[in-house]
C-alpha cells in the first residue's frame, strides 16, 4: 500500500471514530434533553427549578471530583509500572475522593437547601451521596482504550447511564410528581454506568498504592482540580447564582433556555477533547505537524461553534416555548447571550486541549481564572438589581476573556496560534451579529431559515478552506492530518 493511501486510511479511521463519538454523545444528550422536558412539563416551573438546582449541585460534585486521571492514563509513557498498577492507584484515589465528596454533600445539604430557600429539598440533595460513591467505584479500564482512539467502551458506559437516567426520571416524575425524580434519575444513571464499566473491564479493579506512581498521578491531577473548580464557577455557577438571587421559578426559566444550547455544546466539546487529545499527543514531537493539526482542529472548533450557536440565536425563543410549555416564556436576548457564551466553550476546549497534550496542566487554572471575572461581575450585577439577561451578558464577557487567556498561554508555552484561526473567529463574531439582527428585525421563520443557511454556509466554507490548507502543510511534515 502506498504512503498516500495509508494516510488516507488513517484519516478515514480518525474521521469515522470522531463521528462515532459525536453520534454517541448526541444520543446521550437527546436523552437528557428529553428528561428535562419531561420533568418540566410534569412538575411545573417551581419543582422543575428545584430539580435544576439538584442537577447543578450534582454537576458541581462531578466537576470538582474529576481529577483528570483518565487523561493521565492516555498520555502516560508507561515507564517503570504496568497499566494494572496505574489503574490500581487511580482506583484507590478515586474511592478516597468519592468518600470525601459523599460525606461533604451530606453535611452541606441542609445549608445548601436553605441558601436556595427550599429547606424541604435537603433530603434530595443529601441523597446525591449515593451516585457519588457509585461513580467513584467505576472501573476505568475502558478509558485506557482512548489512547488508541477506541471509544466504544466510553459510548457503552455513557449510553447505559443516559438510558437508565431517562427511564427512572420519567417513572419517578409520573409516580411522585416531585423534584425527587431528578435525584433518583441521577442515581439510576450512576448505577448503570458503574455496572457497565465493570462488565467491560478486561482486568479486575484492585485498589493499590505505589508511591512514585501515585505522586506522579497526583501532580498531574492537582492543577486540574483547581481548574475544575474554576470551570464550574465560571461555567455552571450561574445556575446557583440565579437560584439564590432570583429564586427557583426564574431558575427554571433560565435552565430551560440553557438546556437548548448546553446539550449540543457539551456533545461537541466532549467529542473534540476526546479525539483531539490523543492526536495532539502523538504529534507533539514534531513542531510543524503539531501546529498544522492544531490549526485544523481550531478551524473545526470555530465551525462547530457556529453550528450549535447560530440556530439558537435565530430560533431559541420559539424552541423554548414549544419544548417546555406555557410556563416558560420566550426570551430572545437571554437565548442569544447564552448561545454565544456556551459556544465559546468549544473554542476554549480546543485551546486547553493543546496545553494538556503537552502536559502544561499547571497553567490551565490560570487561563480559567479570567473566566471567573465574568461570574464575579454577574454577582455584583445581580446584587444591584440586574436582570437574567444582565447576568448572562456578564458571563459572556468572562467566557471571552477565558478563551483569550487560554490562547495566550498556548502561544507562550507551546506554539504560536495560527493567524487563520483568529480570522475565523472574527467571521464567527460577524455571523453572530447577522443572526442577532435577523432575529430582532423579522418574525418570519422563512427569512430566518434563509439567514441561517447563508450564515452557516459562509462560515463552513471558510473553515473548510483553512482545514484544507493546513492539511496540505501537515502532509509535508510527514504526519497524517487530523479529522
- In angstroms, the Cα distances linking 99 to 58, 95, 133, 137, 308 are 15, 6, 7, 10, 37
Residue by residue, what is the 3-state secondary structure of 311-330?
HHHHHHHHHHHHHHCCCCCC
CA distance linking residue 54 with residue 182, whole number of Å = 7
Q: Residues near 421 by Cβ (< 8 Å), separated by ≥ 6?
A: 295, 298, 299, 302, 466
Q: Are 193 and 162 in contact (CB under 8 A)?
A: no
CA dihedral for 17, 18, 20, 21, sign (positive or negative)? positive
How buried is residue 25: exposed, middle or buried, by Cβ count under 10 Å (0-12/13-18/19+)? Answer: buried
When computed from its CA atoms, the radius of gyration of the chain, rounded to whole angstroms, is 22
Compute how many other C-beta atoms are within 10 angstroms of the C-beta atom of residue 256: 29
Q: Residues near 479 by Cβ (< 8 Å), separated by ≥ 6?
A: 283, 286, 289, 292, 293
CA distance linking residue 24 with residue 431, whole number of Å = 28
Instruction: Using alpha carbons, select from 360, 370, 162 the residue that is nearest to residue 270.
Output: 162
Segment 274-315, tens digit of pLDDT: 777 778 877 777 777 888 888 889 999 999 999 999 999 999
- CA of residue 413 relative to chain centroid, distance: 24
Q: Which residues of the chain have pLDDT under 70?
A: 1-25, 67-71, 73-82, 144-151, 205, 221-224, 234-235, 474-483
Please tell me the predicted confidence (pLDDT) of residue 68.
65
Segment 373-390, tens digit of pLDDT: 888 899 899 888 888 899
Q: Residues near 446 by Cβ (< 8 Å), separated by ≥ 6?
A: none
Please tell me the predicted confidence (pLDDT) of residue 331.
85
How buried is residue 326: exposed, middle or buried, by Cβ count under 10 Å (0-12/13-18/19+)? Answer: exposed
Please tell me the predicted confidence (pLDDT) of residue 73.
66
Q: Are 361 and 78 in contact (CB under 8 A)?
A: no
Q: Are 94 and 136 in contact (CB under 8 A)?
A: yes
Please tell me the predicted confidence (pLDDT) of residue 356.
81
Q: Residues near 214 by Cβ (< 8 Å), separated by ≥ 6?
A: 89, 92, 93
Q: Are 450 and 401 in contact (CB under 8 A)?
A: no
- 328 phi, psi to nearest 5 deg: -125, 85
Amino acid at each position: 500500500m502506498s504512503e498516500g493511501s495509508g494516510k488516507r486510511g488513517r484519516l478515514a479511521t480518525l474521521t469515522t471514530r470522531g463521528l462515532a463519538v459525536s453520534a454517541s454523545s448526541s444520543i446521550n444528550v437527546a436523552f437528557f434533553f428529553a428528561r428535562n422536558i419531561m420533568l418540566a412539563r410534569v412538575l411545573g416551573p417551581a419543582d422543575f427549578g428545584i430539580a435544576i438546582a439538584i442537577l447543578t449541585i450534582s454537576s458541581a460534585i462531578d466537576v470538582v471530583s474529576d481529577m483528570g486521571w483518565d487523561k493521565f492514563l492516555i498520555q502516560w509513557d508507561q515507564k517503570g509500572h504496568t497499566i494494572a498498577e496505574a489503574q490500581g492507584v487511580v482506583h484507590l484515589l478515586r474511592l478516597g475522593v468519592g468518600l470525601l465528596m459523599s460525606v461533604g454533600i451530606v453535611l452541606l445539604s441542609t445549608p445548601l437547601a436553605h441558601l436556595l430557600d427550599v429547606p424541604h429539598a435537603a433530603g434530595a440533595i443529601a441523597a446525591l451521596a449515593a451516585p457519588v460513591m457509585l461513580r467513584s467505584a467505576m472501573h476505568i479500564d475502558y478509558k485506557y482504550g482512548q489512547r488508541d482512539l477506541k471509544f466504544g467502551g466510553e459510548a457503552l458506559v455513557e449510553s447505559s447511564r443516559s438510558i437508565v437516567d431517562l427511564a427512572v426520571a420519567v417513572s419517578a416524575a409520573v409516580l411522585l410528581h416531585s423534584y425527587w425524580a431528578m435525584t433518583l434519575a441521577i442515581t439510576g444513571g450512576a448505577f448503570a454506568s458503574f455496572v457497565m464499566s465493570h462488565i467491560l473491564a478486561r482486568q479486575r479493579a484492585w485498589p493499590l498504592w505505589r508511591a512514585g506512581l501515585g505522586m506522579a498521578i497526583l501532580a498531574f491531577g492537582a492543577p486540574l482540580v483547581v481548574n475544575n473548580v474554576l470551570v464550574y464557577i465560571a461555567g455552571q455557577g450561574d445556575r446557583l447564582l440565579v437560584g439564590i438571587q432570583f429564586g427557583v421559578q426564574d431558575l427554571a426559566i433560565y435552565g430551560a433556555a440553557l438546556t437548548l444550547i448546553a446539550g449540543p455544546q457539551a456533545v461537541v466539546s466532549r467529542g473534540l477533547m476526546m479525539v483531539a487529545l490523543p492526536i495532539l499527543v502523538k504529534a507533539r514531537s514534531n513542531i510543524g505537524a503539531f501546529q498544522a493539526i492544531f490549526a485544523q482542529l481550531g478551524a473545526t472548533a470555530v465551525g462547530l461553534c457556529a453550528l450549535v450557536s447560530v440556530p439558537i440565536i435565530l430560533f431559541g425563543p420559539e424552541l423554548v416555548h414549544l419544548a417546555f410549555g406555557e410556563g416558560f416564556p420566550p426570551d430572545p436576548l437571554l437565548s442569544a447571550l447564552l448561545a454565544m457564551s456556551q459556544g465559546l466553550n468549544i473554542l476554549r476546549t480546543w485551546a486547553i486541549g493543546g496545553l494538556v497534550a503537552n502536559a502544561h496542566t499547571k497553567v490551565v487554572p490560570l487561563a480559567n481564572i479570567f473566566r471567573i471575572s465574568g461570574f464575579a461581575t454577574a454577582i455584583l450585577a445581580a446584587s444591584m438589581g440586574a436582570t437574567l439577561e444582565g447576568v448572562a451578558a456578564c458571563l459572556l464577557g468572562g467566557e471571552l476573556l477565558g478563551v483569550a487567556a487560554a490562547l495566550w498561554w498556548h502561544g507562550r508555552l507551546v506554539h504560536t496560534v495560527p493567524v487563520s484561526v483568529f480570522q475565523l473567529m472574527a467571521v464567527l463574531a460577524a455571523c453572530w451579529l447577522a443572526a442577532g439582527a435577523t432575529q430582532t428585525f423579522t418574525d418570519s421563520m422563512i427569512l430566518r431559515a434563509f439567514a441561517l443557511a447563508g450564515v452557516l454556509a459562509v462560515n463552513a466554507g471558510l473553515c473548510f478552506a483553512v482545514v484544507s490548507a493546513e492539511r496540505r502543510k501537515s502532509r509535508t511534515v510527514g504526519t497524517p492530518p487530523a479529522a
